[in-house]
Amino acid sequence: MKRLILALLIVGALLAGLTVLGSRGWGPILITREGEQKILLFFGKALAVTTPGVFARVPLLMDVETYPSLGLYLNVDPESIQTRDQERVVIDNYVVWRIVDPVAFRGSFPPPGLDLAQQQINRVVKAAVREVVGKRTLVEVLSVQRESIRQAITDRTAKSLADDGIAIEDVRINRTELPPATEKNVFARMKTDRTRLARKYRAEGEEQARTIRADADREARVTLANAHRDSEIARGIGDAEAARVYAEAYDTSPEFYAFVRTLEAYRKTLGEGTTLVLSPESEFFRYLGSGTGGAEPAR
């Protein structure tokens, strides 16, 4: 029993030691953790790439190199770029990338290769940003085509680094700023554009106001003309009716008609302070005598 226990302890110690050595890539057992990928090298030549799990190897004849398999983050240095309309803009972006082919990555960037890879990614991203942004105007970069610009930069960078075992998952723009001189020029141009639009809108408003006033004046003239026409028609009808009434009154009682007409003449001509110099025998005074219709002239 003691020998069995001792044997089990020895085997456990050996397994523990092999596990520790395997996790560090030194023993005959190779352990690849989650988020890692390892290359088995035989005298400097790649034999296989491991995925998370346990593998066997020949300790002294095989070397192991470990690379991350998770996404990596790289913040690209900001750079001033000239747009298509000759404006300067400062762009700061970052890159999310991954090692998808460790063997190709090791061939392009010998160990330690992460720093060299990041430098290459930085150069490629800057070149893609200059090429894509240089074909757009400032307005497109700041608002209209921002998403299409981001996608174009990502595609160009991914294509340039595909042969190096690198996959570019995303290139994002952190911020886009204008240099002080460009900012002043943009503000002045925006002010000029707004002033031009204000003049345009005022001119259009004045033109519409003139059109509305002309239409209103025309409608007013038409309305007044129709009203004048209607009043003239009504006045003509009234005059005709009055003439008819006068004619009927004259036919009925000529003397009474003459008396009424004479009274109207008195009312219109003999106002306050009126002085008339006429002959006493004038026909105008025929009803101012004895009231008998002209039996005696006025004295």
Higher pLDDT, 27 or 158: 158
Quote the tokens at residue 45: 């030549």
Residue 268 CA to residue 260 CA, distance in Å, equals 13
Give a three-class secondary structure readout of 21-34: HHHHCCCCEEEECC
Q: Indicate the pLDDT class of residue 51, thresholds 50, 70 and 90.
A: confident
Per-residue pLDDT tens over the stretch 115-143: 898 989 998 988 888 888 888 887 777 77
Confidence (pLDDT) at 255: 75
Give this prediction's pTM. Answer: 0.52
Residue 142 CA to residue 145 CA, distance in Å, equals 8
Q: Indicate the pLDDT class of residue 298, thresholds 50, 70 and 90.
A: very low
Q: Which amino acid is at 130?
A: R
Residue 299 CA to residue 288 CA, distance in Å, equals 9
Per-residue pLDDT tens over the stretch 194-219: 899 999 999 999 999 999 999 999 99
Would you give the distance in Å from CA 240 to the centre of its chain?
72
Question: Would you list the domain boundaries of the chain?
Answer: 2-68, 72-178, 253-299
Averaged confidence pLDDT in the chain: 79
Percent of the chain scoring above 70 in pLDDT: 81
Top-level class of domain 72-178: alpha beta
Per-residue pLDDT tens over the stretch 52-73: 777 666 666 778 888 888 889 8
Q: How far is CA 36 from CA 48, 50, 57, 98, 287, in A?
A: 14, 9, 17, 11, 137
Bridge partners (DSSP) of residue 40 are 48, 64
Confidence (pLDDT) at 181: 67
